Amino acid sequence: MSGSALCQDSKPLNLSIRVGQFQPAFSAARDEGRSWFAIGGDTRIKTLGVSSTNPGTSSYLTISFDSYSKGDFRAMPILLNYVTRTNELYFSAGAGLTFAGERDDDEGDKTRVGFAFGVGYDFMQGRTPLFVEAKYFGNSSNDHLNGLAIFLGIRL
């Protein structure tokens, strides 16, 4: 007697979700609080290639959304990112739009040019891929919402 079983292969969603802490770089926002809650995610939209001369090295494009706020200050950058990876270590650089608001701004939220630079490391715990990441966020026209974020995340 013989039988067969169907196995399901789960394909990755190419989605990363992260939570962490943002630390503003300048005093006006730092007076609101030295550590702010930060959350974000990104999805891979295009694989650019794998290096034939350096095994384990690849690059790709992602779209990311992040949000960090404290009191009357808030920022939500939406960025297109270039990521280069060598095994577990990766670097990213992104640019796009930041939707920002702060307490002394009578005009309400503003849309600004935003950017970010990051470095991260993937590690495994069981079958769940986890990572740590540091990102510097910046935006044009106002440095109050610039600063460093440290994240812990999961890849789905």
Full-model pTM:
0.87
Q: Which domain covers residue 123, as residue numbers?
A: 15-63+72-142
User: How far, in Å, CA of 148 to CA of 47, rounded?
Assistant: 27
In a domain, 59, yes or no: yes
User: How far, in Å, CA of 89 to CA of 118, rounded?
Assistant: 11
pLDDT digits (tens, 9 = 90+) for 7-46: 555 557 889 999 999 999 988 888 889 999 999 999 999 9
Percent of the chain with pLDDT over 90: 62
In a domain, 6, yes or no: no
In a domain, 152, yes or no: no
Cβ proximity of 121 and 152 under 8 Å:
no
In a domain, 151, yes or no: no
Higher pLDDT, 31 or 117: 117
pLDDT digits (tens, 9 = 90+) for 75-92: 999 999 999 999 899 999
User: How far, in Å, CA of 140 to CA of 133, rounded?
Assistant: 23
Count up the domains in the chain and report the number.
1
In whole angstroms, how far apart are CA 42 and each of 63, 71, 76, 141, 143?
Answer: 5, 25, 13, 25, 24
In a domain, 4, yes or no: no
Of 76-80, 104-108, 134-138, the least confident: 104-108
pLDDT value, residue 2? 52
pLDDT value, residue 56? 82
Average pLDDT over residues 124-149: 88
Strand ranges in the chain using DSSP code E only, listed in sequence order: 15-24, 36-50, 57-70, 73-86, 89-101, 110-125, 128-139, 147-155
pLDDT value, residue 141? 76
Does position 140 have pLDDT exceeding 80, yes or no? yes
Higher pLDDT, 126 or 116: 116
Look at phi and psi of residue 53 and say left if phi exceeds 0, alpha if psi is from -120 to 50, else beta.
alpha
139 contacts: CB under 8 Å, gap ≥ 6 = 75, 77, 98, 100, 112, 113, 114, 115, 145, 146
